[in-house]
Amino acid sequence: MTIFDILLLAIGVSMDAFAVSIAKGLSTERLQHRHYLSVALWFGGFQALMPLIGYFLGANFASSVERFDHWITFALLAIIGGKMLYDTLFGDDDDESVASGFGAKTMLLLAVATSIDALAVGISLAFLRVDIWSAVAFIGCTTALFSAFGLRIGAIFGSRYKNGAEITGGVVLIAIGIKILIEHLSA
């Protein structure tokens, strides 16, 4: 596997984190440097960690996870997106939506939801005898950059259209979950 192949792989696995980062940017009123650092570390870290776990666990575990990984991803994103919609439509205006927050609980759920598929990528990398350390470093760094960039894109639009942006962010999270579920069920 060439460095170009690994770059394409890294971009591909980072797209869910990128989309979720856009949704978070849409729902965050004032971004701070720590927010960029948070999405970069959580999403980049988990996108690097999951293939590493997959690489070392091997093919036997892959079939077990592949049967239900899409359901876990869908459930996590639907719950977070649904909570975001509920908070926007029915919540107190002073309360910050769970999905728009950057606390450990929210970020952990989002990081796991966006990186479950990367577990299978790690198993594939083991079969291809790829240097796992350089591959996961590349995947993690690429995802970190895409996530920070996605957060900024979302913030640009979110600051102009606050309530609509929060609703859009919640819908986007749910839509990503549905898309992943449909892709896996139709495969």
Q: 151 is written with which tokens?
A: 């957060």
pTM to 2 decimal places: 0.73
Interval 147-160 mean pLDDT: 86
| Residues in Cβ contact with 68 at an 8 Å cutoff, skipping those fewer than 6 apart | none
Residue 95 main-chain phi, psi, to 5 deg:
-80, 140
pLDDT in tens, 80-117: 778 777 877 886 554 444 455 888 988 999 999 888 87
Task: Return d(Cα 64, Cα 53) in angstroms, integer.
Answer: 14
Q: 121 is written with which tokens?
A: 């990528």
CA 149, chain centre distance (Å): 13
Number of domains in the chain: 1
3-class DSSP assignment, residue 48: helix
pLDDT at residue 45 is higher than 80:
yes
3-class DSSP assignment, residue 130: coil
Instruction: Report the amino acid identity of residue 99.
Output: A
What's the mean per-residue pLDDT of the chain? Answer: 82
Interval 13-33 mean pLDDT: 86
- CATH number of domain containing 29: 1.20.1250
Beta-carbon count within 10 A of 108 CB: 13
Interval 51-64 mean pLDDT: 76
Q: Which domain holds residue 21?
A: 3-186
| CB-based contact 112:65 (threshold 8 Å) | no
For residues 173 and 30, the model is more confident at 30
Q: How many helices (H) and strands (E) does the chain have?
A: 8, 0
